[in-house]
Chain A
Amino acid sequence: MVRKTAVPLTALGLVSAVWIALSFAGSLPKPGLIPDHTVINDPGEVPRFLADAWQLPDDPLLGFVEITAGPFLMGSDAAIDPLAFDIERWSSTNAQVVLELPTYYIGRFEVTVAQIRSFVQATGYPIDGQALSGAPEHPASFISWPDALAYSRWLDKILRTSAETPEALSTLLEGGGQVTLPTEAEWEKAARGTDGRIYPWGSEPRPDRATYQARGTTAVGSHQCPECPFGLSDMAGNVWEWTRSPYQPYPYDPTNDSEDLENESLWVMRGGSYTDPERFVRGANRGGADPGARRAFIGFRIAISPSE
């Protein structure tokens, strides 16, 4: 004899079992991705960086360094720099050109693992798990071009809205600045300064000034580089850095960046990485990568550029 309550009770029990199982499964992290805010426990304490300011550097502009308006020499002349690649030559008539840029600001350091953790913790942004697994003070890697832009957008938003933002930085942003990736011209000027040097520290390779031909990354700012322009660190080596410039032949002209939409997408990255020999860490060297590339040797640095 089947009891009248048996069927509904059994059905209810089974539904509850499935519900609990699926709710539990749904709350588990997906492999390689961070699905919600609860996964990252601690972005990690890093000396010289502020745990209460999104792990940004501990200085008045939270790590942004002013690059004053003015000219700089862009491109490479193989007659001066025998290691130069053809892609660095400005045109068939001029190897290099003097380019004028307005004032902008660029990060003193490459964006660190701790900063990316802070971003993911705040937003739940789905990022490759490997981007979070490095030492907190090392440059973030395994970051795609859209990931780097997503971080920039988030930082732009919080710096605009947070009461913790230093006044000088708020003023910059209110004045039309935007946190984003640097263009390749902005990046090159920041790396080489205005005197057309080959490496950030001068014209000869110096392994004590940067991390290249090495086994892995080093903590950002590990190398003292008093000769480097603007006091920036790791503008050569450690990780390649994404820019917001599409990879196209010189002459460089940011006004045509969004014209060539039919070709396959490649974006410029600069600076070379720990895996590269000296030729690739020169300030004028140009790398191009698929925007979806997530590699151990690709990271980024942020800038505050005038709105376009």
Chain B
Amino acid sequence: MSAAQRRKEWQKDQGHRVQLPSGRALDSTPGLQVLAAPIVLTLTLVALSFLPRIQSNLTLAISIWGAVIVLLAWIIVLYLRLRREHASRTFQTMLRPQHYVQALVQLAVFAYWGWHWRPVYEFGTLLAAQLIFAYVFDMLLAWSRRETYTLGFGPFPIIFSINLFLWFRDDWFYLQFLMVGIGFLGKEFVRWKREGRTVHIFNPSAFSLGLFSLVLIATGTTNLTWGQEIASTLTLAPMIYLYLFLLGLIVMYFFSITLVSGAAAMVLFGLSALYTSLTGVPYFLDSEIPAAVFLGLHLLVTDPSTSPRSRAGKLVFGGLYGLGVFGLYSLLGAYGAPTFYDKLLAVPLLNLSVRGIEALILVIRRNRAIKLLRLDWAPLVLNPVHMAVWIIFFGSMTAMGKTDGTHPGDSLPFWEQACAEDRPTACNRLIQLEASYCGDNSAWACNELGGHYRQGEIVSSDADLALGYFSRACELRFQPACVNLLDPGSFRRINPRALDLRLLLREGGQNLMEMTEPELYERACVQHDWDFACDKIMSAS
């Protein structure tokens, strides 16, 4: 008899009140009265739809009402089926630390990030709507397939994890519900046998995120989401790396995932450093490891049930995540796809490789030569030791300015110079960076981009694209761009205005809107080697 079967038998023997080894108190409630729970939650969802945030957009309200209709229909069908079969349904409560600790850590990320980027707080109502939807969906899915639903905090980390990386815009918010639903369906149906038990293959949130990422890229519909903004606004929160690191320590302490996160981070830091030493330019645009990737390697890839159990397996798993993100970043960039998907696409692939990794570790350990040479090494047993190594490593990186410090990849003059020197990928990065700043409404960056596409020196000439960028810059009241629209035969440019500098000099994402102009120019001169800013300071003094 397998462990799972034994456990099932044991639960049956305990009647309606049982104690499971891995959880707290368990209750069960017989009959169909339990369907009151999804009904009440669904009605709460209806009530939520009348809040001003949701009423501000008709499509959003309709999305929620659509979700409500689906859930109510499911409840009715389930009720009729159960009544016909004279079946009953129950639930049991089980509070698992891996759910609520994870959820609290994720909530802390939302709180800090939202403090510095308000759309996160404004999104709170929609987060609550998804949570309610997730609970009802999960309940109905469970009761459609078995007798007991396990009530706990399970949906919290799934919803939080999805929303730390991808939200659909209000006009397409119904797809967010689809994403949540697919996460739960994936958990329920996409399963395999591992160590004698049938378990889900994919981390539910990562499965959903990976699947949607793939299709968003393939259909060119990334603009339906806030993905790009989410990936780039994490750094608006000061010292975000340190903050994520400290939160990560909590998760590492409780769930022994240090080897996964640590290995991933070390591989990424190492590869970044190697790339920089070979090419003279940073690999990632804004840091050694983008903040969203750093978040992902702490809170997305570390689900214990979809990662290897052995310590060596965890180490390989983490290392492969680092490699995967590093490779996908270039691959996506080469295909002109948004690079922020790198951290999302890697996880489902790794989940699929878990059995392979475990098997490989086993083969290596059993190999006679390995044994003879005493190479069947396994990482040290104690998680605190792993954590100590990780703390020292992160501390060293921080001391070297590789985390929250200034990063040359943030500096436009750096990329302009690197592009002029024909360094690898530098011109592409310059275009990418200017496109990002143009997206943030820096008219100067839009005008520069228009110039690149008009002149065709560092990028293929594209007159229509150039006009598009000039139009955008002109509408942002940048006079040279308006003149460029009138005169297709030339390219006029000026230095960035103070308003542009507030966007262009953000570096780690700091909010420079309140900074005085002299401070801005000093920052542009001292930290970014912007000659015009130095001249301005000189002339002012």
Contact = CB atoms under 8 A, between A and B. Distances in A.
Interface of A: 2, 6-7, 10-11, 14-15, 17-19, 21-23, 25-26, 28, 30-31, 144-146, 149-150, 153, 180, 244, 246, 257-258, 260-265, 267, 290-292, 308
B190 A11 contact: yes
A2 B477 contact: no
A22 B224 contact: yes
Given A26-B219, A265-B477, 14 more contacts: A14-B186, A18-B211, A22-B221, A26-B224, A146-B474, A149-B471, A150-B467, A246-B482, A258-B486, A261-B483, A264-B479, A265-B479, A267-B482, A292-B474
Q: Which of A19, A180, A263 has the most CB of B within 10 A?
A: A19
Contact of A145 (B185, B190, B482): B482
Given A14-B211, A265-B474, A290-B477, A21 B482 contact: no
Closest 8 pairs (CB-CB, A-B):
A292-B475, A146-B471, A26-B221, A265-B479, A265-B477, A258-B483, A10-B189, A261-B480
Contacts of A17: 178, 182
B216 interface: yes
Contacts of B478: 265
A14 B478 CA distance: 47
25 contacts: A2-B191, A2-B192, A2-B198, A7-B190, A10-B189, A14-B182, A18-B212, A19-B219, A22-B221, A25-B175, A25-B221, A26-B219, A26-B224, A145-B474, A146-B471, A149-B485, A258-B487, A258-B492, A261-B480, A261-B494, A265-B474, A265-B478, A291-B474, A292-B474, A292-B476
Contacts of B189: 6, 10
Contact of B219 (A10, A23, A292): A23
A222 B191 CA distance: 72
B201 interface: yes
A10 B477 CA distance: 52
B215 interface: yes
Contacts of B215: 15, 18-19, 22
B50 interface: no
A297 to B, nearest CB: 18
A13 to B, nearest CB: 9
A28 B185 CA distance: 27
Contacts of B522: none
Interface in B482-509: 482-483, 485-487, 492, 494
A18 B182 contact: yes
B193 interface: yes
Given A17-B178, A25-B172, A7 B201 contact: yes
Contacts of B471: 146, 149-150
A150 B482 CA distance: 12
B210 to A, nearest CB: 10
B171 interface: yes
B66 interface: no
Contacts of A28: 171-172
B220 interface: yes
Contact of B477 (A260, A264, A308): A264
B412 to A, nearest CB: 19
Given A14-B211, A146-B485, A291-B474, A261 B201 contact: no
B175 A14 contact: no
B479 A21 contact: no
Scoring A25, A150, A246 by chain B CB atoms within 10 A of each residue's CB, the highest score goes to: A25
A66 to B, nearest CB: 23
B211 A21 contact: no
Nearest to A291: B474
A152 to B, nearest CB: 10
B482 A291 contact: yes
B486 A149 contact: yes
Contacts of A150: 467, 471
